[in-house]
Structure 1
């Protein structure tokens, strides 16, 4: 959640259109479609009444948080000044019913069994057949302040303590493994055939049959985005890693065959003289990944267990005590949480990300050279990078000493096999070239490529890198006018569109070799309707 948008004090909350529409920004491409995916018409008066009933009070004020890409969230104030948060999913949030049902059960288990400070749910409904006319969750307001508001001013010692606090939660998550891969639900929300057998295993490996919970269809974002919510595919749950990863490939093969236009990810610029995705390339990558899958799956114990994990531990999802920022008071945003092997989860917290050279393995950063004649701004940047690398390296060393399974998963990320598994997890969107390139580099690969195929794969890998670099150059050139996730602030829309038109003209000039190329660029340019 971010800054509060607007304060309303009247009691007919349904009169305010901004409650139901996406108001955070404007989309530079396919705006009508994007806005429709983020518009929810519901009865705000009834939502306020249900929230008030949940705490035995009356709601007297509603404030809307800045829109997320998948949900709308509101701060509701009661007549005793108690505040709760109401959350309503957008149409693009995921599978109706399952996304909300899984989020609520996940927060319950995390809070009461894992002892993670997830928000307490006060009321919810995963159906839209209710007075609100939409799915909703009413939950307690997170205590404390968002980590991002205090992280820049925390000293090194405080940051280390905060990282240790996160690692303690990750240790708790690693201690409990689950019987199947998928997403968590209340047993009552699934069919009786989905609730048999133990749900999870305790830290001693003993099976725990909890009649309250069950594992059902997976609700991860990559199973929903780019039209994949609409395809009929195996969504789990699965009892083995191999059956799960085969379902991933089958999902993307079906998407490549049956869905409309291919995705246009904004992390790379695709077109003539650069990488150009095709259905045939995506299907070829899926088929190759099928062949190599049994040979590259890690078989060690840490990789064979299934865990529930928060994969987006960035500074807006972590709340800390304002007076003692080393104390975590809440972790929010559990939507689309999945149960999966550790190598399919994100281990390192997002707030440890930095811009600069990645450190391999257990490498420790070297202090920067700071000659007296060095520009003060460059010196400050070098020291900042060094401090950030120290924290990232320290996290790995902390894992090595305290959470061996998570440490093994982090170390595995540098392997060739991990590269294939990572790229093959999302071939329909973006991963086909790197998937094939990584398979090509395997020494004992069961996949045999012809010389022509090898040459094409190598060419596509090089062009993919060039496409990513080209988009990076565009992003740097446009600065704040670049549409992150396709969106810019409303007041920047006209300037952003004008800047993108100028960039488009230059791209066509630089990368076209023929009239046909120019025509293709007009069709594939990702920032037009």
Structure 2
């Protein structure tokens, strides 16, 4: 057996267990991609079939990427989300063949086996695309988001397997921490699900949805937080019930950037797969503001081009989901202000930069 050597995890044990889970011996396991908190291997099975094995291991994080602390069972929620999306939309998502939480710790981290999809990352394909191709792929990305925004849920949280062949909204899960001062993930008992937008923002303002830090809040920060929570609870802006279309709860991919959209190498206007669903959540429409072009290099896409394509993206999504366009436009502006108030509850003036930041969040101005 040919194995890629890696000192941080037990590669031989991983290869054996992949073979056991798939009922096919794994004869080759080679490193394929390195994420901030996980590593991906290509496994070649005895019948020459190839699959991807992704293992979570904070030891793989790149310098400067954060503490690596991660909510328990994050990957289980990610898999449930992928399966829900497969069953309820036309979005191309890799099949998941196996999951192992690595309860005995002999591999080195929880892992999954999924379909190997050959494709080119958007950020790599973009420089070689002509203007028409770029416009078409922007529309394709908008179609993906429109499908997610058309899904409907009764509460705010993350997707989990309900143990009965279906899905449920359970506690919200999160991307791995990028804060070196993080000492523990959020307490899942305080992470929902939330049956009202107001309760969700109150939990956010309280800090229940943040990683626990070694740095403690001072008395002034606690005072700011108390004021913010009073406003959220009693100003009457954030609804207790989902009483309008803008507060409809939909699904938000937490990290659909240009490296997580794979295009067909022969025809780059076709999306082959959308990957990395970790940290996906259900949320009100006014809290979902995707910016899929943020991380494309300036050399490949100028600020002016980002502005142009973001407007095209936003218009195309809005044609299909008008309530989202309203929720993230002027009609939903006050709700977004309270979202920022909850996110920055321990700051003296959390809305100081709201106007220009809100424009950037909408993709109107990338020069903030």
TM range (shorter): 0.7 to 0.9
Rounded to whole Å, the distance in 1 between the matches of 2:210 and 2:46 is 52
Q: Cα distance 1:435–1:133, how it changes in 2: closer, same or farther (>3 A)?
A: same
SS across alignment from 2:43: strand
Following superposition, the deviation at residue 215 of structure 1 comes to 1.7
Conserved? CA contact 2:121–2:263, under 8 Å = yes
SS across alignment from 1:103: helix
Is 1:73 paired with 2:40?
A: yes
TM-score by length of 2: 0.80
Partner residue, 2:118: 143
Partner residue, 1:61: 28
Partner residue, 1:435: 350
Whichever structure has more strand as a proportion of its residues is: 2
Q: 1:202-244: CA deviations, max 9, x gaps?
A: xxxxxxxx85212211102389962351658611111111111
Conserved? CA contact 1:347–1:409, under 8 Å = no
Whichever structure has more helix as a proportion of its residues is: 1
Partner residue, 1:214: 168
Q: Choose which of 309, 313, 337 in structure 2 pairs with 1:395.
A: 313
Rounded to whole Å, the distance in 2 between the matches of 1:290 and 1:155 is 49
Partner residue, 1:114: 89
Partner residue, 1:247: 203
Following superposition, the deviation at residue 303 of structure 1 comes to 2.9
Structure 1: give runs of 5+ residues left out of the alignment.
Answer: 1-8, 21-40, 189-209, 263-277, 356-379, 442-529
SS across alignment from 1:227: strand
Is 1:229 paired with 2:204?
A: no
* Coordinate RMSD, CA, aligned: 3.4
Structure 2: give runs of 5+ residues left out of the alignment.
Answer: 59-67, 356-368
TM-score by length of 1: 0.57
Structure number with greater Rg is 1
Following superposition, the deviation at residue 288 of structure 1 comes to 1.9
Q: Cα distance 1:433–1:62, how it changes in 2: closer, same or farther (>3 A)?
A: farther
Partner residue, 2:268: 325
**Correspondences of 1:483-498 after superposition (within 5 Å):** none
Following superposition, the deviation at residue 419 of structure 1 comes to 3.6
SS across alignment from 1:77: strand
Rounded to whole Å, the distance in 1 between the matches of 2:178 and 2:308 is 37
Rounded to whole Å, the distance in 2 between the matches of 1:154 and 1:350 is 15
Number of equivalences: 340
Rounded to whole Å, the distance in 2 between the matches of 1:346 and 1:319 is 21
Q: 1:322-374: CA deviations, max 9, x gaps?
A: 0110100100001111111122223232358787xxxxxxxxxxxxxxxxxxx
Conserved? CA contact 1:320–1:329, under 8 Å = yes
Partner residue, 2:222: 283
Q: Cα distance 1:77–1:353, how it changes in 2: closer, same or farther (>3 A)?
A: closer
**Correspondences of 1:93-492 after superposition (within 5 Å):** 94-97=70-73, 99-129=74-104, 132=107, 134-188=109-163, 212-221=166-175, 226-229=182-185, 234-251=190-207, 259-261=213-215, 279-294=218-233, 295=235, 296-297=237-238, 301-351=244-294, 384-412=302-330, 415=333, 417-425=335-343, 427=345, 432-435=347-350, 437=352
Rounded to whole Å, the distance in 2 between the matches of 1:87 and 1:161 is 31
Question: Which has the higher mean CA deviation after the structures are superposed, 333-342 or 398-407?
Answer: 398-407
Partner residue, 1:16: 6
Q: 1:56-95: CA deviations, max 9, x gaps?
A: 5332322224432222222222344422111122353522
SS across alignment from 1:179: coil
**Correspondences of 1:507-518 after superposition (within 5 Å):** none
